[in-house]
Amino acid sequence: MTSPDTRSDREKVVSKLPLRLRQELKIRAAQRGVDIQEAVETGITTWRSLGSNLSPIDTSGAESFATFLPATQWTGFRADCKDRGVSLIQGLAQSVQVWLDHHPAPAVRRPAIVRRIVVCNQKGGVGKTAITAGTGEALAEDPTALMPVRVSKHFAALLDEANDTDTDNGGDRYDPLALEDLPGLGQRVLLVDFDPQGHLTKQLGQEPLPMGGDSLTNHMAGDAKGDLRDVIVAIDEDRFGDRLHLLPACTDAFLLDVRLASVRAREAALERALAPVEADYDVILIDCPPSLGLSMDAAAYYGRRRPDEVPGNSGTLIVVQAEDSSADAYDLLTSQIEDMRTDLALELDYLGIVVNHYDARRGYIATSSLQSWMDIKDPRVVGVIGDLKEQKEAVRVKRPLLSYAPRCDQSVGLRALAREISK
C-alpha cells in the first residue's frame, strides 16, 4: 500500500517485515549514519539488479513496517516480485538483508593513544564520582544496541528549558523530541578510584582493597606487590559486556601525599603505575579526591598531552555545581593547573566543565550561576546534569546508573556528555 508524501518526491509504503530484520536495520542504519528509508531504497535497488532469486527468509510473525521510497520505485518492485514469484513481504525482507550484507557494522573507533580523563575539583560534594562513573558507563555501552541520547539541543536551549520550572519531572524536563537513538560507543574503559574515601568503588557494588595488600598507592610509591591487573575488577552488567573495569580504592591512599614526597619525579607516579595496563583500554577515567595536594599534581600530569597526541584527546574534566562556592573552588583548581602548565611546561587541555546537581527550582542562585558557567568559553560547559532521584537510587542499590535507569534524564545527559568530550 502506498500514499503520497507531500514533503518530497517520495511516497509512503506500508508492508511487513520480520522483527529481527527491523531491529537490525534500525541499529545498522544508525551505526552507518543513514536514514532507514535510504537504506531500504538502496536495498531494493540492489535486489532488483540481481540476476537470480535469493534464499528465502523466514517471514513468519512479520509486523507492519512503513517507510518512504522514491515515486515509482515501489511499483517497479512489486512487478519484479511478481516476475520472480515471491511475495512483497519476502521481497522486502530479502532487500533489507541484501543491504545489511553489503553494509556491515563499522568497527568501533579506538584512539591511537589511550584517552586519560581526569575528573576533578578540590571541592567535595559536587558529584565527581557520579560524573566519572556515568561518563565511563556511557563510553562503554553496547555498540550493537541503540541508546537514547540528547544530542539535538544546544546548551543555550538547555538553559532556556532549565529556567522553565513548569515541568512534570522535578524541574528538569524530559523532552522526547530532543532525543535520538544512537549506538553505544563500545569503548574499553577503566575507572580509577583515586579517592581514599572509596565512593566510586562502593557505588559500583565493589569492596575497597584491603590494607596490607596491593594497591594503586603502592604502585605509585614504588612498593608494588604484584601485577596491577590482579586488583582490577570487571563491572558485571550485560550492557557493558567486558568493557567496563574498575581499579578499586584502598584506604592507604590517605597516606599517598606523604609517600609521594620521597618518590623520584613524583608528578609522574600515577603515569608510571598505570602504564602497564594502558594497552588494555581506550579510555581511563580518574576520579580525583577533593584535594590540591601532590596526588592532584600526579593526576593532572597524567592527563597532559603526550607527544603526537591530538589536542582534546586527554585532559581535565572539571565538575561544579550551580552555586557560589563552586566558583571559588574552580578558581583554586585552575590556578593549580596553570601553575603546572607553566612550571613543568605541560600541554594540559581542559576537556570542559560539567554543571552537576542542577535544579532550576532552587531559583535565582542556581539559574544565574548556571548562566555564569555558560559564559565561560575556555573551558566551556560540556554538560548539565540534573539533580534527580535515579542517581541516588542507583547509589543505594550499588548499581551503575546507566544499567539501573538507562532512559532517565541523567543517563540521557551523561551519554551526551560522553559524546561531547569524544568529538
What residues does each domain of the chain span?
2-102, 115-420
Radius of gyration of the chain (CA): 25
CATH architecture observed for domain 115-420 = 3-Layer(aba) Sandwich (3.40)
CA dihedral of residues 347, 353, 356, 361 (deg, nearest 10): 160
- Residue with cell string 548562566: 371
Is the CB of residue 19 less than 8 Å from the CB of residue 63?
yes
Collapsing DSSP to helix, strand or coil, 76 comes out as: helix
Residues 388-409 pLDDT 10s: 899 999 999 999 999 999 999 9
Q: Do β-strands 244-247 and 233-234 pair in parallel, antiparallel, or remain unpaired?
A: antiparallel
Contacts of 379 (CB under 8 A, 6+ apart): 318, 350, 351, 352, 353
Q: Rounded CA gap, 215 and 238, in Å?
A: 27
Q: How confident is the model at residue 251 (pLDDT cuts 50, 70, 90)?
A: confident
Q: Which of 74, 49, 61, 48 is nearest to 19 (CA)?
A: 61
Percent of the chain with pLDDT over 70: 91
Q: How confident is the model at residue 165 (pLDDT cuts 50, 70, 90)?
A: very low
Question: Stretch 165-181: mean pLDDT, rounded?
Answer: 52
* DSSP code at position 174: -
Which pLDDT belongs to residue 258? 86
CATH entry 1.10.357 includes domain 2-102 = no
Write down the pTM of the prediction.
Answer: 0.87
pLDDT at 152 over 50: no
3-state helix, strand, coil in the chain (%, to 5): 45, 20, 35
Is the CB of residue 26 less than 8 Å from the CB of residue 40?
no
Is the CB of residue 405 less than 8 Å from the CB of residue 393?
yes
Q: Which of 137, 336, 150 is nearest to 241 (CA)?
A: 137
Residues 95-126 pLDDT 10s: 999 999 999 999 998 999 999 999 998 877 88
Q: Which of 30, 10, 27, 7 is nearest to 19 (CA)?
A: 27
